[in-house]
Amino acid sequence: MKWYIAKRILWTFVAVWIALTFTFALVTASPNQGEMQAMMSCATSGDDPAECREQYRERQGLDTPVTERYVNYMVNMATLNWGWSDSRSQAVIPAILDAWKFTAQYAIPVLILSTLIGYGIGLYSAYKPYTVTDYAGSFVAFFGISIPNFWFAIVLIMLFGVNINALPVYYQSGIPLEYGWISVKNFLQLVLPITVLLTASLAWQMRYSRAQALEQMNQEFVKVAKAKGASQYRLMIHHVLRMAAVPLSTSFVGSLLAIFWSGSVIIEQIFAIPGLGYMTYTAIVEQDTALILATTLLTVFLAILGNLLEDIAYVVLDPRIDYGNR
Amino acid sequence: MPSGNKRRKQQSDGDGGEGGLDRRRVMQYMAATGVAASLAGCNSGGGDTTTSGTTTSGTTVSQDEIPSGGTFIYGTTGNTNGLNVFRVGDGETSARAEMVMDLGYVRESPAYSDFLPLWFEDMTVEQPVNQIDIKLRENLQFGEGHGELTADDYLWCIDNIWTADWANFTYASEFTVGSNEEPIQFEKVDKYTIRETIPNSRPFFPYNEPLSYMFPIPKAIAQSYVEDQNAEGLAQDNAIMRATFNGNLGPWDLKRWSQQSVMEFERGEDYYLREAAANDDRVPEIFTEAPYFDEYHFQYFDKAQTARQALQAGEIDATFIPSTQVGSYEGNDSDNLQLYQNPYRSWSGYLGINHRANGWSQLRNKKVRHAMAHIYNNDFVVENIAEGRAATQNTLHPSWGPYAPDDPVTFDGSIDKAKELLKEGTSSDYGYSGDTFVGPDGNQVELTVVYQSGETDDLRAAYLKQRLSQVGIALNQETTSWTSLLSNYFAPGQKASGFSGTIGYGEDNTSGGPYNPGPWDEVVSGNSWDFMLTLGFGYGPLTPAGTIASLFGEKGNFNAYGYTPDENLAAMRDEAQTAESREAAQSTIQEMLLYLSEERPVIFEYNPYNYYAYRNQVQNIGESPPDSYWKMLQDRSSTRMFFSNGSSGR
């Protein structure tokens, strides 16, 4: 097992290297907007575009061999010199370090809550399928899947922010600095974003866990446990969930990234949260190449790391899986 | 590149510059209807030259009674790119920079000497108009030990930064005049006085002189970047981005900047204008204690709707209201809000027409454009889409502007006339087959409108489609981002199909700039289009000649439309700008405006009003609407004169 993990970590580095190399190749092969602008600018002011192109390439270090640029690029990436973000007037790494906290403060609770509540309802629905409670759970799930995040967010803001005036309409980034990240005031301004995001992700978790649990409910070992008089709690948690959790765990990283890409961008725009989603969206809209590159690579890193953790989780959850010989 | 529609030069109300516009000024002039939510309204509230505050209810409050303290929060959808006075190039950055550093003055009427003196204690214009002496106040201090702001600081910045090639400074071209870009001469008269001289008399020069809207950078901060010619380093310097050197030069100091969230300013403790207000009769007494809030926040929202909801919930104090949303705020006392209307917005919205080779060729015929003016009826748009919250335009000048022609060409929206004009104006291989207007291939004519999706522009595009269908023409609607609109549709950057020569005007292939590198049949945009919404144009109503020539002159810097006028608009501009006086220039300017009205190079539409909503607790936002364009310009100073009646709770 240890050898497997060591190999996987080693492979993680290889995968990251491949991703970085692929990105470098894409950027190198793409038409350089700055270069084209420089040429255009020179052409229109009566200068020689070819000369301007050379000057531009020299200034940007593009006149060096591609291998040298590749080495410089890899060194910069390894030393976290990821460039300058024009859309934020900030270096890329500080930009990410500033933004991730604002996303994590609601994304982590959403992930935990959606897993606990979603699996809980899913297991319960599986235990009592086709009953009123199952239908109620299904209704919640389909409501969450069907309702557009942006619309739900606006409705909640109107209801709780404007009409009842019980919760803040938008996120004030000064509150965590003044009152702390874990404070009632900060919690209050996160209630609506968490609710919106939770509705969508919980539904997905619930339907998936219900399906997995239902599959296990017909297994022999469940019947044996039932025959031996196992309580409902013991049956579902110790027997069904443990087996259902193996396939479920494979979706963990996927859910995290799905929350980020499908939810965060919209939630952060609507609630004015200066997190990774809003940052990425702005970077794309404003063609902030350095920041787009960084957020893309961040996603790749998360996926690679997540897959490693998932594979390790397999073994913990199901001792029959053995990586000893791999 | 998305940009608000206002500019730092607003106070001087410049036009396209004496010699026209250069490419770096595109950000100042181009604007999207969808991003019109500038900070202008925030700066265009109250503020007059009386010696007391006037509350919104009309009650006069004496200086002693003005409450102070609390935080004013303005919700904006603009960007958050710092206070970079080196890279200031759009209205939003300017508005933020002006929080921490004042302008030279605020003009109060067209008279050269009529202005509210801020940094500039005096500005003397010689007759003939080829020399201006500017005298700085003596109590202007940079912060962080950079010393006093004097004439030397201006001259050093002019030579080393503002006009230096390596710096690529946004306003570099404004240090020249005329179509030949003759440099303005600057010289130091004494420690506090700078003399600006131009070769010939130009009556509009005082409105365009550049120093009144420049922010000098202390030599100690910029020196090393200047020596290395490192523009990128200077632009990214922390002191520049945060204007930490602002000293007593502005009413506020930057307290906290959270990217893409909020910019918090705190009251400057030693703001120079307080002392000036006590000693200078021209500065209203209300400035002696200004600003009246302890803090001023720009709170950023990606969604304007969230900002409006935050305003309704009482979490912010003011924000921009699109004209289409104004109805829900008018007469709605329950929201505890007051509306401020600014009808003097110097911006024209119109239906752009692609005259270049990748647009519909028939649009180059004036009769077809006249047909389009009937089809896309500007009165209908003003009444039904802008809901009356805009003024109709039939040329590139507002109806309230000093040069507005008395009898511009108008079109009544008749579909029958439009059909007739289409038949007359198009070539013989076009015509009607039943109710369908068909082209040489026998198929229905299909045109394309491109725009950035937004509430107003979606409606404008839908109206155009509906009306075109009534004359038998189909319309494809293409939506895109602001950046893409400019780079892929507006800016011509590709050789036209079938052209293999060198792009450019005349035998020496001169270029009008990136937005007009050559004639319509030589260079086209990357994507083809026929009509364009969203993109409008800002102008200086006092001096429209430069803007007209830049936008519609054959070689004009911004004539991306590829329009080829019969008249030499650049020559007419030069004639107007070198006239003996502004009065002498009037007939030429009006001739240009009438020519555009008749030609309809684009379908002139409207200048929409700006609306801002304030919490009722905010006082002294001024009379709505202001009674004149000049009153609106004076209101630039209003943010530091806002105060709360004490019930806002912040």
A89 interfaces chain B, CB cutoff of 8 Å: yes
Spatial distance between the Cα atoms of B333 and B317, rounded to a whole number of angstroms: 16
Tokens of B470: 């009534």
CA distances from A116 to A120, A127, A205, A222, B534 (A): 6, 16, 9, 22, 48
Element (H, E) at B12: none
pLDDT of B274: 94
Spatial distance between the Cα atoms of B9 and B25, rounded to a whole number of angstroms: 11
Candidates A154, A104, A89; CA nearest to A290 is A89
A154 interfaces chain B, CB cutoff of 8 Å: yes
Candidates B248, B283, B239; CA nearest to B148 is B248
CA distances from B433 to B429, B444, B473 (A): 12, 9, 11
Considering only the beta carbons, identify the residue of A46, A89, A272 that sits closest to B261.
Answer: A272
| Cβ B602 vs Cβ B611: under 8 Å | no
Residues of B in contact with A274 (CB under 8 A): 258-261
CB contact under 8 A, A89 and B261: no
Using left for φ > 0, alpha for ψ between -120 and 50, and beta otherwise, residue B623 falls in beta
DSSP tally for chain B: helices H, then strands E: 19, 31
Candidates B350, B402, B437; CA nearest to B111 is B402
The better pLDDT of the pair B454, A152 is held by A152
A46 interfaces chain B, CB cutoff of 8 Å: yes
Compute the half-sphere exposure of residue A123: CA atoms within 13 Å on the CB side of its CA: 21
DSSP letters for B527-541: S--SEE-SEEEE--T
Considering only the beta carbons, identify the residue of A84, A87, A169 that sits closest to B236.
Answer: A84
* Closest chain B CA to residue A94: B259
Beta bridge partners of B495: B523
Candidates B162, B254, B138, B273; CA nearest to B210 is B162
Q: How far does the CA of residue A43 sit from the closest CA of chain B (Å)?
A: 8
Residues of A in contact with B256 (CB under 8 A): 174, 177
pLDDT of A204: 79
A218 burial (CB, 10 Å; 0-12 / 13-18 / 19+) is: exposed
The better pLDDT of the pair B58, A180 is held by A180
Mean pLDDT of A313-324: 73
Query: Per-10-residue mean pLDDT for chain B, 650 residues long?
Result: 33 32 37 34 31 51 79 85 74 81 90 92 90 96 96 97 86 82 94 95 89 94 94 91 95 94 94 92 90 93 92 92 81 77 89 98 98 98 92 93 93 97 96 96 97 90 98 96 82 90 89 86 95 86 86 91 96 91 90 97 94 89 87 72 67
CB contact under 8 A, B306 and A270: yes
Contacts of A100 (CB under 8 A, 6+ apart): A275, A276
A174 interfaces chain B, CB cutoff of 8 Å: yes
Bridge pairing between strands B610-615 and B337-342 = antiparallel
Element (H, E) at A48: none
CB contact under 8 A, B315 and A279: no
pLDDT of B90: 59
Tokens of B161: 């930064």
pLDDT of B119: 96
pLDDT tens, position by position, B456-491? 899 999 999 999 999 999 999 999 877 778 888 998
Bridge pairing between strands B60-61 and B53-54 = antiparallel
| Cβ B70 vs Cβ B648: under 8 Å | yes
| Cβ B391 vs Cβ B610: under 8 Å | no
Considering only the beta carbons, identify the residue of B258, B307, B511 that sits closest to A44.
Answer: B511
Residue showing tokens 């539904």: A203
B615 burial (CB, 10 Å; 0-12 / 13-18 / 19+) is: buried
CA distances from A110 to A117, A244, A281, A306, B470 (A): 10, 21, 21, 17, 53
CB contact under 8 A, B79 and A87: yes
pLDDT of A96: 94
CB contact under 8 A, A89 and B81: yes
In 3-state terms, what secondary structure has residue B61?
Answer: strand
Spatial distance between the Cα atoms of B637 and B367, rounded to a whole number of angstroms: 47
Tokens of B296: 């001023």
A227 interfaces chain B, CB cutoff of 8 Å: no
Rounded-to-5 percentages of helix, strand, coil across chain A: 80, 0, 20
The conformation of residue B357, written as its DSSP 8-state character, comes to T
| Cβ A5 vs Cβ A11: under 8 Å | no
A124 interfaces chain B, CB cutoff of 8 Å: no
Element (H, E) at B215: none
Spatial distance between the Cα atoms of B7 and B624, rounded to a whole number of angstroms: 22
Order the strands of the B193-197 sheet from edge to edge.
B120-125, B131-136, B193-197, B185-190
Residue A255 in this model has a pLDDT that exceeds 90: no
B481 interfaces chain A, CB cutoff of 8 Å: yes
What band does A201 get if pLDDT is binned at 50, 70 and 90?
confident
Question: What's the ipTM?
Answer: 0.82
Q: What is the dihedral of CA A77, A83, A85, A89, to 10 degrees?
A: 130
B259 interfaces chain A, CB cutoff of 8 Å: yes
What would you report as the CA-atom Rg of chain B, rounded to the nearest whole angstrom? 25
CB contact under 8 A, B23 and A278: no
Residue A326 in this model has a pLDDT that exceeds 70: no
Residue showing tokens 């890329």: A92
CB contact under 8 A, B306 and A90: no
Spatial distance between the Cα atoms of B467 and B422, rounded to a whole number of angstroms: 14
Residues of B in contact with A285 (CB under 8 A): 481, 483
* Range list of β-strands (E), B108-206: 115-117, 120-125, 131-136, 176-177, 182-183, 185-190, 193-197
* Distance from chain centroid for Cα B471: 36
Residues of B in contact with A172 (CB under 8 A): 262, 299
* Test mutation, B86, B92, B306, chain A, max A CBs within 10 A: B306
CB contact under 8 A, A169 and B310: yes
Residues of A in contact with B308 (CB under 8 A): none
CA distances from A68 to A25, A26, A62, B464 (A): 13, 16, 10, 55
Compute the half-sphere exposure of residue B469: CA atoms within 13 Å on the CB side of its CA: 8
CB contact under 8 A, B513 and A169: no
The better pLDDT of the pair A163, A286 is held by A163
CB contact under 8 A, B309 and A157: yes
pLDDT tens, position by position, A35-92? 666 665 555 444 565 666 676 676 666 778 889 888 988 888 888 888 888 888 899 9
The conformation of residue B397, written as its DSSP 8-state character, comes to S
Spatial distance between the Cα atoms of B36 and B610, rounded to a whole number of angstroms: 8
Q: How far does the CA of residue B299 sit from the closest CA of chain A (Å)?
A: 8
Tokens of B384: 């039904």
Other beta carbons less than 10 A from residue A282's beta carbon: 23
A93 burial (CB, 10 Å; 0-12 / 13-18 / 19+) is: middle
Angle at the Cα of B646 from the Cα atoms of B641 and B650, rounded to 5 degrees: 90
Using left for φ > 0, alpha for ψ between -120 and 50, and beta otherwise, residue B504 falls in left
B578 interfaces chain A, CB cutoff of 8 Å: no
Beta bridge partners of B531: B353, B449
B561 interfaces chain A, CB cutoff of 8 Å: no
Q: How far apart are the first and last CA of chain B?
A: 35
* Distance from chain centroid for Cα A64: 37
Angle at the Cα of B5 from the Cα atoms of B1 and B9, rounded to 5 degrees: 105
Spatial distance between the Cα atoms of A169 and B73, rounded to a whole number of angstroms: 14
**Cis bond leading into B128, ω under 30°?**
yes
Spatial distance between the Cα atoms of A294 and A78, rounded to a whole number of angstroms: 12
Residue showing tokens 């500080």: A94
